[in-house]
Chain A
Amino acid sequence: MRFVLRRLGFFVLTLWVALTLNFVLPRLMPGNPALAIIGKFKGGISPQAVKVLEAQFGVGSHQNPVAQYFSYLGNVFTGKFGTSLTTEPGASVGRVVLDAIPWTLGLVGVTTVLAFILGTGIGILGAWRRGGRLDSLMPPVFVIMTVVPYFWIGLMLILVFGVKLHWLPYFFSYDYTLTPAFTPSFIGNVAEHAILPAFTLLITTIGIWILTMRNTMITTLAEDYVRMARAKGLPGYRIMLDYAARNAILPNLTGFALSLGFVVGGAILIEEVFNYQGVGYLLLQAVNNDDYPLMQALFLLITVAVLVAILLSDIATAVLDPRTRGAR
């Protein structure tokens, strides 16, 4: 219980730091860049939205920074993130963000689950047949994958499968001559557009699951209870799955909980490269357009997702593995 409370306290603290960063950063920069931008839009948006912006960026000079800070915090907690200035002028930031979230959850969420399942499976096999072909192929591949920028892999896939071979589409999340509808042909079109970005994401994230699973399982394979199972003459697949893998999967499970937090903001550059209109793409749109309110809301969303996932994975670890409860 104390452990959970401490993690909860840490969660609140980090959340506060992220909120404060959002408030302080524009004020720290030379000449408060937000000022000029917002000044331009003052006429075009509702007075209420102007108020939110004033607190957020310190545009209005009639309030001192401390008061601005508190009304900014108040606005965030009541869900007032202001108005998008340039990306979708006049639309509320909340709505613009909500439109983007499903695309990211669909693409990155599904791929994260897939990478976890595939990677864990390959890791189990790698450890089971230690030194086999699969096992010896992985280290060099993984070394290479740690140094290749994700977005560049995406670009190379576009070059080969999109531009040269014309096998797959690589722009946007569906053919935009179509009208979105729940018809098989439209859904098929969306799926087709998701293949290349999903594959990019898959090959760049799967390595970590393989490695962690393999490395933990190698230690459990050396345990006495595995030897015992062998001595009892149990079939190989039962020893592999029920004895060795089952006891080795905890790091991967907590890692999976963590990675869910990275779903929201974890594929920024991949979304950018494929012009896939999710959260990451929206963030870069906001950055390119100096749409500061939208940008801040997205940064907050990404951070909160990560923090919640960290909290959940901490709690999951405490629940699943009693040994960790006393630690730290």
Chain B
Amino acid sequence: MLKPHDLYSFVVSRQLSSVKGLIILFFLLLIVPSAGWSKEAIPVAEDPEVEKRMLALTMDLRCLVCQNESIADSRADFSNDIRREIREQIKANRTDQEIVQFLVERYGDFVLYNPPMKPTTIFLWFGPILLFIIGFGSLIVYLRRRREQIEEVSLSEAQLKKAEVLLNENKGKKV
């Protein structure tokens, strides 16, 4: 392991000028803490498999206290409890479906970020498409009507000739 003392003797041994040596020493010292003092991360749970499943599950569950956070992200007490509950249920060999069912029975569909298709959620699922169809439909109707409103103007012989003259007028000239 590199120690500050080794760095210093390295700088001195090169017989660098004192100011230059100090500058190099300063920058070398910056590297030392990261190498010497970093620790191994403490494992979050005894069983990483359980933790992995728990995280995957809670990612799609809403924390009811801080409603825009998932239970996986939230530090609220409520989420801590739910995470503990899920860990216990995983250890008791319950399937993911059973665990989600358990939570829905208690907190309702609102805990799910991915709501099920039900009579009450039909508008949630198809509302946007419905609004799109209405909007797109009225755009088409509007454009058709507008086209009908613009009358085709037919030009008389005299007008056509006049236009041709006007167009030819500038021919050959620099535009």
- A and B physically associate: no
Residues of chain A at the chain B interface (Cβ within 8 Å):
none
Residues of chain B at the chain A interface (Cβ within 8 Å):
none
